[in-house]
Amino acid sequence: MILKKLFNLNEYGYKNIVDDQLKISGLAFDSRLVRPGYLFFAIPGINTDGHLYIEDAIKRGAAVIVYSDPEISFPPHREQTWIRVVDVRKTMAQISAQFYDHPSREMRLFGVTGTNGKTSTCFFLRNILEDDGHACGLMTTPKNIIGPDVYEAINTTEESLQIQACLKSMLNKGIRQAVLEVSSHGLALGRVDGLFFDAAVITNLVAEHLEFHKSFEHYFSSKKKLIEMVEQNTKKSYPRFVIVNGDDENCRKIITESHLPTFTFGLRPENDVFAEDIEYFVDRTEMKIKTPKGNESVQLSLPGQHAVYNALAATAMAIFSGIEGEKVAQGLEHTHRVPGRWEVVNAGQDFMVIVDFAHNWHGLDSTLSFIKKMVRGKVITVFGCGGERDRNKRPMMGETVARWSDICIITSDNPRHEDPRQTAEDAMQGVSKCKKEVPVESCIILDRREAISQAFSLAQAGDVVFLAGKGPERYQVYHDRIICHNDYDVALELLKERNSS
């Protein structure tokens, strides 16, 4: 695409336009991905500043530099085009949408946000939409799926440029609908700016990521931005509506504020979509789903009340999009697993091992309270708290784990630049607060593999070992290194070793 079509060049501060007919061969916000003829966005980040990599981008062939630092008033390289903007990330969202020709205008776009259950709801919803007969793209924490191609992503919600590129390749493959998981960072940092969302759901809302948002109000208003984006969507090719969890006090506040048809889901019969006659099992759930468009009996392969909520959230999105109840039930039943969420590890041992992505008190409370109710044996939980994440979260996680577990083993979960011992001790404070006398077996074992091994050596027939927090992650991030670690693989290996010894 030529430069003049991407920018209204009269609008900007400093600019050195070499040729407004210049053909831009691609866009990048990371200098390491720049190729000849690219436009490079220099983003001031949290760890470093993209302005420091302009030289690198130029060496790799960048033809245009979009930057914001006013200190660079006379860019040294006159042979490149330089454009100074107020906010590079915001500009990147606009320009990327333009570069890829606004793929979301040609698609039906479903946005899923909330504190917990986003990824699971996305998987349910995508399966329903596909079972209704139309291919559906997916962008979530563990995976981005474009037809037969599956990619791992670094972030739940990627940068605007990556999202637009991904939607464009969906469209090129004839995929005209997509489910996008939208994180609070994605909303606050404008990663989703420029997208046309047709419908949105908020799964639930409790305080999270306060290391970034600083206050619940900021977190809440970031989440609400997704609803505002549906309201502001001028495309109007599909009915626009909003779905919220009617059992969640914070979500309910949105109902009165929304200018669009807003429907609720939940367990209470006052909700537009709700569940009845729920029968919980340790490996599945049976229930009747009631909707204004009819009722369906459903058997979910995923256990627990939180799975019911996620299935109801997806059902509400699908039903109000016009999908028949029968197809909804089929899609829910076809969702056999969500990667790293409630994955059972079985090597023939006489206790149960579950790998799960619960990484805040709310997720731990939902999963562990269910386990405690369902099993007669001891509950042994191995968990850690992420480094460089809200420190106040840690004792709350510790307290919740201790409330429902007989033995708590605190370990590391991506220490990042923090001291893992200190992080673990923060969590231990919560354990001690809950249990006046911390059981002797509860302890800190910083090496995660060793912690899992210790849990297995304490487990007896009928117990449950719950490995929380890393789900499908394949790494452990330390200040100076990233090591390979996957809870499922490690657990399976250790269980097999036990079998052969």
Ligand X SMILES: Nc1ncnc2c1ncn2[C@@H]1O[C@H](COP(=O)(O)OP(=O)(O)OP(=O)(O)O)[C@@H](O)[C@H]1O
Ligand Y SMILES: N[C@H](CCC[C@H](N)C(=O)O)C(=O)O
Residue positions in the annotated binding site?
31, 114-120, 155-157, 183, 191, 389, 413-416, 469, 473
The one of ligand UAG, Mg ion, ligand X, none whose footprint includes residue 362, by CB under 5 to 8 A per kind, is ligand X
Token digits for 168? 């464009």
User: Which one of residues 80, 127, 141, 442 is an interface residue with ligand UAG (CB under 6 A)?
Assistant: 141
User: Which one of residues 367, 381, 405, 442 is an interface residue with ligand X (CB under 6 A)?
Assistant: 367
Min dist CB 157 to ligand X, Å, is: 9
Quick one: 310 or 423, whose CB is closer to ligand X?
310
User: Which one of residues 80, 96, 156, 222 is an interface residue with ligand X (CB under 6 A)?
Assistant: 156
Min dist CB 439 to ligand X, Å, is: 23
Q: Which long-range contacts does 23-28 make (Cβ < 8 Å, 24+ apart)?
A: 24/63, 24/64, 24/99, 25/63, 27/92, 27/95, 27/96, 27/99, 27/161, 28/57, 28/62, 28/161
Residues that bind ligand Y in the complex, under the rule CB under 6 A: 359, 386, 389, 413-414, 469-470, 473
Quick one: 296 or 473, whose CB is closer to ligand Y?
473
Cα torsion 454, 455, 458, 460: sign: negative
Min dist CB 341 to ligand Y, Å, is: 12
How far is Cα 411 from Cα 366, in angstroms, rounded to an integer?
Answer: 21
Name the segment binding ligand UAG (CB under 6 A); options: 30-38, 199-207, 274-282, 330-338.
30-38
Report yes or no: 54 and 84 within 8 Å, Cβ to Cβ: no
Which of positions 39-98 make contact with ligand UAG (CB under 6 A)?
Answer: 43, 45-48, 50, 53
Largest CA distance in the chain: 74
The one of ligand UAG, ligand X, Mg ion, none whose footprint includes residue 384, by CB under 5 to 8 A per kind, is none
The one of ligand X, ligand UAG, Mg ion, none whose footprint includes residue 309, by CB under 5 to 8 A per kind, is ligand X
Site membership for ligand UAG, residue 103 (CB under 6 A):
no
> Which one-letter amino acid corresponds to residue 4?
K
Strand order in the sheet with 273-280: 149-151, 144-146, 137-139, 177-181, 108-113, 199-202, 241-245, 262-266, 273-280, 285-291, 294-300
Q: How many residues belong to the site for ligand UAG (CB under 6 A)? A: 20
Site string for ligand X, 193-232 (x = CB under 6 A): ----------xx----------------------------
Which residue, judged by CB position, is nearest to ligand X in the bound state?
117
- Helices in 111-248 by DSSP H: which ranges? 118-131, 160-172, 184-188, 210-213, 216-232
How far is Cα 354 from Cα 344, in angstroms, rounded to an integer?
Answer: 5
Site membership for ligand X, residue 356 (CB under 6 A):
yes
Site string for ligand X, 35-54 (x = CB under 6 A): --------------------
For residues 438, 343, 307, 399, the Cα torsion angle rounded to the nearest 10 degrees is 10
Site membership for ligand UAG, residue 156 (CB under 6 A):
yes
Report yes or no: 135 and 129 within 8 Å, Cβ to Cβ: no
Q: Which long-range contacts does 478-487 make (Cβ < 8 Å, 24+ apart)?
A: 478/415, 478/416, 478/420, 479/415, 479/416, 479/417, 479/418, 485/448, 485/449, 487/355, 487/448, 487/452
Min dist CB 359 to ligand Y, Å, is: 4
User: Which one of residues 357, 383, 404, 488 is an interface residue with ligand X (CB under 6 A)?
Assistant: 357
Strand order in the sheet with 352-356: 343-345, 352-356, 464-468, 379-383, 407-410, 443-444
Site string for ligand X, 111-150 (x = CB under 6 A): -----xxxxx--------------------x---------
User: Which one of residues 12, 16, 18, 30 is an interface residue with ligand UAG (CB under 6 A)?
Assistant: 30
User: Which one of residues 102, 126, 223, 341 is an interface residue with ligand X (CB under 6 A)?
Assistant: 341
- CB contact set of 486 (below 8 Å; sequence gap of 6+): 470, 472, 473, 474
Look up residue 413 and give its DSSP letter.
Answer: B
Annotation: binding site for meso-2,6-diaminopimelate: 389, 413-416, 469, 473
Query: Reduced to 3 states, what is the DSSP secondary structure of residue 426?
Result: helix
Annotation: binding site for ATP: 114-120
Site membership for ligand X, residue 362 (CB under 6 A):
yes
**Helix H or strand E encompassing 397:** helix 393-404
Site membership for ligand X, residue 358 (CB under 6 A):
yes
Min dist CB 26 to ligand UAG, Å, is: 14
Contacting residues toward ligand UAG, per CB under 6 A: 29-32, 43, 45-48, 50, 53, 141, 154-157, 159, 183, 185-186
